[in-house]
Amino acid sequence: GDEDSESVPLPLSSNSTSSRESRWCDTTPYASKKKVQCWLQLSNGNWELVKIITSSGTESVVSLPDGKVLKVHDESLVSANPDILDGVDDLMQLSYLNEPSVLYNLQYRYNQNMIYTKAGPVLVAINPFKKVPLYGNDYIEAYKRKRIESPHVYAITDTAIREMIRDEVNQSIIISGESGAGKTETAKIAMQYLAALGGGSGIEYEILKTNPILEAFGNGKTLRNDNSSRFGKLIEIHFSETGKICGANIQTSMCWGATISKGSAEDYKYLRQSNCYSIVGVNDAEEFRIVMEALDVVHISKEDQESVFAMLAAVLWLGNVSFTVIDNENHVQAVEDEGLFSVAKLIGCDIEDLKFTLTTRKMKVGNDNIVQKLKLSQAIDARDALAKSIYSCLFDWIVEQINKSLAVGKRRTGRSISILDIYGFESFNRNSFEQFCINYANERLQQHFNRHLFKLEQEEYIQDGIDWAKVEFEDNQDCLNLFEKKPLGLLSLLDEESTFPNGTDLTFANKLKQHLNSNSCFKGERDKAFTVCHYAGEVIYDTTGFLEKNRDLLHLDSIQLLSSSTCHLPQKFATQMLTQTEKPAVGPLHKSGGADSQKLSVATKFKGQLFQLMQRLESTTPHFIRCIKPNNLQSPGLYEQGLVLQQLRCCGVLEVVRISRSGFPTRMSHQKFARRYGFLLLENVASQDPLSVSVAILHQFNILPEMYQVGYTKLFFRTGQVGVLEDTRNRT
Ligand code: ATP
Ligand code: MG
């Protein structure tokens, strides 16, 4: 067993034993100097609870649960909490706040279906991958009446409603986590609570029905989640003066290659690529019926519904359009088969126009308009770009119709609660353009999180003039600069290279290395790769495909084809596609690549959408929910410590608890404190001003000086201090 003595505690655990913290951890009776139980990390990375038999001060002899006895270095032991703290519902209550203790506490609760735990101000939700008996009207009622206090999405949502009414400030519930961690389910649970409390007008029913629609068109099966959202979503729910829901608005961001999973999938090439037509436990016919019904509920007319499905079919048939090479330069002609005819019919255009558009490109050289024939790969790109654009226009159009249906009436008060369900940080063995964009978005969200929880906290202490050594927190501004700086940032350089006709992924990678190597968040890697040091860890990106994915390959000719359509939706889409170009393109465009250079790149569009989302969040009071995926198999009851730990680190949960706890999280104005507890005073105070009364109360209850601070306007307390006063007050 000697190899076990080599085990080293994971790095973050050392953070949690700052002198400030241990000083006041020691005030709890359970954290005695003589450690009885400790955590020992085994060679497989898991932590085991061990008992100390003897200790020399540098080495200890410990016994494992299976009776085995080991001699280990003291540095490899991490303090464990006393049994009485097993399964506390707020990690702030742990005497020892190290990684194994947090992991154990969450697991202890998870095993008893208590999937929610507070981490100071943040709610941690661990995906149960099974039905848990925590939802429904009885629970909603209990949380509303505050008969249950345990952490829950309902409790967070309830707080948001109360604060919206009390402070007259818009609120937001920001849900993050990896793919498959449960964000979308959590958002739905929050919406259910809002609907139950603010319902009555009937509009809440419509709002709930947007979920199956958006999921049908914007979700797809991925390796990590059978029902993965391929788009980010912010739903803003508006309340009237009487606290009733009066409307809603949905904003989506970038749909990443949604796949369609309905119909006889085997017939369509786009669907065949996945080799997966059904998902265990999913009844396609029933799901389809639910979606159709939902489309009715949000007032999409039968006629429009038909157009929607025609467009879906057009996208699928486009995937089946094939080409034959007609000369030795690889130029092509579209094959006249069922696929081609169906596309022409469905988008309402002339078949010859369609053939021509898919295989040629109009260009202007000097003063002449010329027609260039496309080579096979170019024709395939043009076809796929058209399919993708139609799909994304369709998605946007549906969201637009939903928004019309949910539009806030005249009685709006401007008060709202927004729920953000957005793709979480991703780090895989191979990370591409999608991860690059998603992680950039998460970097922005993290800054929002930091600002609110830490900066605002600090500012409040400083404003109120209290003595509070600044707590260091990770600021990710450097990393954001790496992405956003002009002209030498990742996004600018990517856009620049994407517009060069001769730019390749390799020239892009080399440019990054040339210009960004001095940035502390950037590292050039071998070949076409580079590393970004994100707040959540380092990610190596492979630039293969970056330029192609960033360029919008949709030809102007394709947009013109759609605008020539006799049908209403394709015409709309053409207008929509044109407005997405930087300047409305005038007529056929110049040299090779010229047409595309006018269009906004994918990354730039994404950045624009992200900024819009952030702007909406900026003026709200945020509430954070961090979803955690306990295993990669989507299976219940399986809790993989390593996987959970990695996610806890990524979302900064431990950091948040440490900082919240080392500060003074409870605060009350002098007036409120004096009013609330003044009657408990046994002796009259000479002066009746709130500050004197407050100080007298603090003395009478022997609240230790290190447990509070007196600010100009407020009193600040360590965790748990006001509890004693509240107990006494309630007993009196
Ligand atoms: P993505 O980023 O890929 O969209 P996500 O975080 O939105 O992922 P969800 O789709 O919400 O993940 O959850 C994945 C699956 O986990 C759900 O389909 C459901 O089976 C299960 N799940 C999540 N939360 C719960 C819950 N509270 N109770 C029961 N099952 C849940
Ligand atoms: Mg989702």
Closest atom, ligand 1, to C-alpha of 224: 3
Pick the catalytic residue: 180, 182, 218, 348? 180
Percent of the chain at pLDDT above 70? 86
Best residue among 123, 129, 259 to mutate for probing ligand 1, ranked by most atoms within 8 Å of CB? 129
pLDDT per residue as tens digits for the range 599-637: 788 899 899 999 999 999 988 999 999 999 999 999 999
Kindly list the distances between the CA atom of residue 129 and the CA atoms of 60, 87, 132, 137, in Å, as whole numbers in the listed order.
40, 20, 9, 21
pLDDT per residue as tens digits for the range 174-202: 999 988 999 999 999 999 999 999 998 88
67 is known as an active-site residue = no
Helix/strand/coil percentages in the chain, nearest 5: 45, 15, 35
Lowest-confidence region among 159-168, 311-320, 359-368, 399-408: 359-368
CA-based max dimension of the chain: 103
With a 6 A CB cut-off, is 129 part of the ligand 1 pocket? Answer: yes
pLDDT per residue as tens digits for the range 676-711: 899 999 888 878 899 999 999 999 998 888 888 899
| Mean pLDDT comparison of 94-103, 355-364, 450-459, 718-727, highest-scoring range | 355-364
Integer Cα distance of 655 and 664 in angstroms: 15
With a 6 A CB cut-off, is 181 part of the ligand 1 pocket? Answer: yes
Q: Name which of 92, 133, 93, 125 is nearest 109 in CA terms.
A: 125
Measured in Å, residue 603 CA sits from the centre of ligand 1 at: 27
Nearest C-alpha to atom 19 of ligand 1 is from which residue? 129
Q: Name which of 339, 225, 200, 349 is nearest 279 in CA terms.
A: 225
Q: Is the pTM of this model over 0.95?
A: no
228 is known as an active-site residue = yes
pLDDT exceeds 80 at position 272: no
- H/E run at residue 615: helix 602-618
pLDDT at 280: 60
Mapped onto helix, strand or coil, the DSSP state of residue 366 is: coil
**For residue 525, what are the contacts with CB-CB under 8 A and spacing of at least 6?**
531, 540
Measured in Å, residue 397 CA sits from the centre of ligand 1 at: 26
With a 6 A CB cut-off, is 228 part of the ligand 1 pocket? Answer: yes
Best residue among 110, 127, 629 to mutate for probing ligand 1, ranked by most atoms within 8 Å of CB? 127
pLDDT per residue as tens digits for the range 479-524: 999 999 999 999 999 999 999 989 999 999 999 999 999 999 999 9
Mean of the per-residue pLDDT values for the chain?
Answer: 85
426 is known as an active-site residue = yes
Contact 76, 9 (CB under 8 A): yes
pLDDT at 405: 94
Q: pLDDT confidence of 653, banded at 50, 70, 90?
A: confident
Residue 182, phi-psi category: left (phi > 0), alpha (psi -120 to 50), beta (remainder): left
- Helix ranges (H only) for 238-333 are 269-272, 284-297, 302-320
With a 6 A CB cut-off, is 176 part of the ligand 1 pocket? Answer: no
Q: What are phi and psi of 17, to 5 degrees?
A: -115, 45
Measured in Å, residue 145 CA sits from the centre of ligand 1 at: 28
Pick the catalytic residue: 426, 443, 457, 497? 426
With a 6 A CB cut-off, is 423 part of the ligand 1 pocket? Answer: yes
Pick the catalytic residue: 228, 519, 550, 620? 228
| Across 91-101, average pLDDT | 84
- What are residue 523's DSSP bridge partners? 531
pLDDT per residue as tens digits for the range 205-214: 999 999 999 9
229 is known as an active-site residue = yes
pLDDT at 664: 79
pLDDT at 265: 53
Q: What was the ipTM of the complex prediction?
A: 0.99
Residue 84 CA from chain centroid, whole number: 34
286 is known as an active-site residue = no
Mapped onto helix, strand or coil, the DSSP state of residue 92 is: helix
Q: pLDDT confidence of 410, banded at 50, 70, 90?
A: low
Nearest C-alpha to atom 9 of ligand 1 is from which residue? 182
Best residue among 192, 225, 638, 650 to mutate for probing ligand 1, ranked by most atoms within 8 Å of CB? 225
Closest atom, ligand 1, to C-alpha of 423: 2
Lowest-confidence region among 255-264, 397-406, 410-419, 493-502: 255-264
pLDDT exceeds 70 at position 137: yes
225 is known as an active-site residue = yes
| Across 638-654, average pLDDT | 88
Q: pLDDT confidence of 585, banded at 50, 70, 90?
A: very low
Integer Cα distance of 153 and 130 in angstroms: 17
pLDDT exceeds 50 at position 592: no
**For residue 268, what are the contacts with CB-CB under 8 A and spacing of at least 6?**
316, 317, 319, 320
Q: What are phi and psi of 481, to 5 degrees?
A: -60, -40
With a 6 A CB cut-off, is 232 part of the ligand 1 pocket? Answer: no
Pairwise pLDDT comparison (284 vs 295), residue with the higher score: 295
Pick the catalytic residue: 229, 543, 620, 719? 229
Measured in Å, residue 141 CA sits from the centre of ligand 2 at: 27
Measured in Å, residue 212 CA sits from the centre of ligand 2 at: 12
pLDDT at 309: 92
pLDDT at 556: 87
- What are residue 320's DSSP bridge partners? none
pLDDT exceeds 60 at position 15: no
With a 6 A CB cut-off, is 211 part of the ligand 1 pocket? Answer: no
pLDDT exceeds 70 at position 413: no
With a 6 A CB cut-off, is 227 part of the ligand 1 pocket? Answer: yes
Q: Name which of 383, 257, 254, 389 is nearest 311 in CA terms.
A: 389
With a 6 A CB cut-off, is 127 part of the ligand 1 pocket? Answer: yes
With a 6 A CB cut-off, is 543 part of the ligand 1 pocket? Answer: no
Lowest-confidence region among 196-205, 414-423, 657-666: 657-666
Integer Cα distance of 610 and 484 in angstroms: 12
With a 6 A CB cut-off, is 647 part of the ligand 1 pocket? Answer: no
